[in-house]
Amino acid sequence: MSRDFATASLVSLLSLVLAGPTGCNASKSDEVVAVAELAPLGASAVGGTVTFTAKNGKIHVEARIDGLQTGDHGFHIHEFGDCSAPDGKSAGEHFNPDSSDHGAPKAPKHHAGDLGNLAGAGSGKQTTLDMNLEGFTLDTGARGILGRSVVVHAAPDDYTSQPAGNSGARIACGVIRPRGGDTQPVTAAK
């Protein structure tokens, strides 16, 4: 066997070992992560972080919210990445690329931005959420949520009232951005 052939074979073998077996799950470096830092709206004291991790065709959503009153609170992705209005109306309506009716996040028909309800833990306790969803992507494409916003509402989402579940005032808002990066917020056409 020639020395060049042996060296090429060794390099090929090392490449296979380092790459891992075919069909393995994506490595941590293949994950796409985006974060929304929630800030209070109006007189609210609600804030926190919502993390979106894309892996294997699903989006893992983790929320850590402080200052949320006991009870259910509507939780949605809104169409614009603009949290500048004191009432949060600058975030626009729910993200709805399919022009669907509003509904529960795992119902056959719902907005891509319908995340359901957060179960408020009450004063002095952190509210958490951990779930997997489909229906949107972590990019800036037609189904992408980068540059859009996450909004927490004062009241529960009833999953049936159109167009937004009757979930009341907007009490916290944050723009969804890639972790360690930036993206232009999606804004209303003028």
Residue whose tokens read 């959503």: 61
Structure confidence at residue 4 (pLDDT): 44
Q: How confident is the model at residue 24 (pLDDT cuts 50, 70, 90)?
A: very low
Structure confidence at residue 49 (pLDDT): 97
The CATH number linked to 65 is 2.60.40.200
Residue 184 in any domain: the answer is no
How are strands ordered across the β-sheet holding 149-153? Answer: 114-120, 71-78, 149-153, 170-178, 32-40, 47-55, 58-66, 127-133
Residue 186 in any domain: the answer is no
Helical segments of 42-112, H only: none
Residue bearing the bigger pLDDT, 108 or 125: 125
Residue 1 in any domain: the answer is no
Task: Kindly report the number of other CB atoms within 10 A of residue 74's CB atom.
Answer: 27
pLDDT exceeds cutoff 50 at 26: no
pLDDT exceeds cutoff 80 at 125: yes
- Cα–Cα distance list, 78 to 16, 74, 81, 142 (Å): 44, 12, 8, 14
Q: Lowest mean pLDDT of 93-102, 124-133, 142-151, name the range.
A: 93-102
The stretch 89-106 carries a mean pLDDT of: 85
Residue 91 in any domain: the answer is yes
| Distance, CA of 27 to CA of 20 (rounded, Å) | 10
56 contacts: CB under 8 Å, gap ≥ 6? 25, 26
Would you say the C-alpha torsion 174, 176, 178, 179 has a positive or negative sign?
positive
The stretch 116-122 carries a mean pLDDT of: 89
Q: How confident is the model at residue 177 (pLDDT cuts 50, 70, 90)?
A: very high
Q: Lowest mean pLDDT of 25-29, 34-38, 92-96, 101-105, name the range.
A: 25-29
Number of domains in the chain: 1
Residue 37 in any domain: the answer is yes
Residue whose tokens read 């893992």: 60
Q: Residue 122's domain spans which residues?
A: 25-178
The stretch 95-112 carries a mean pLDDT of: 79
Look at residues 48, 37, 57, 47 and name the one whose alpha carbon lies nearest to residue 138: 57
The stretch 123-152 carries a mean pLDDT of: 90
Residue 5 in any domain: the answer is no
pLDDT exceeds cutoff 90 at 106: no
CA 107-65-63 angle, to 5 degrees, is 45
Is residue 123 within 8 A of residue 113, CB to CB? The reply is no
Residue 132 in any domain: the answer is yes
**pTM of the predicted structure, to 2 decimals:** 0.80
Q: How confident is the model at residue 11 (pLDDT cuts 50, 70, 90)?
A: very low
Helix, strand or coil, per DSSP, at residue 174: strand
Residue 63 in any domain: the answer is yes
Structure confidence at residue 178 (pLDDT): 94
With the CA atoms of 21, 27, 30 and 35 taken in that order, what torsion angle do they form, in degrees rounded to the nearest 10? 160
34 backbone dihedrals φ, ψ, rounded to 5°: -130, 155
Structure confidence at residue 79 (pLDDT): 95
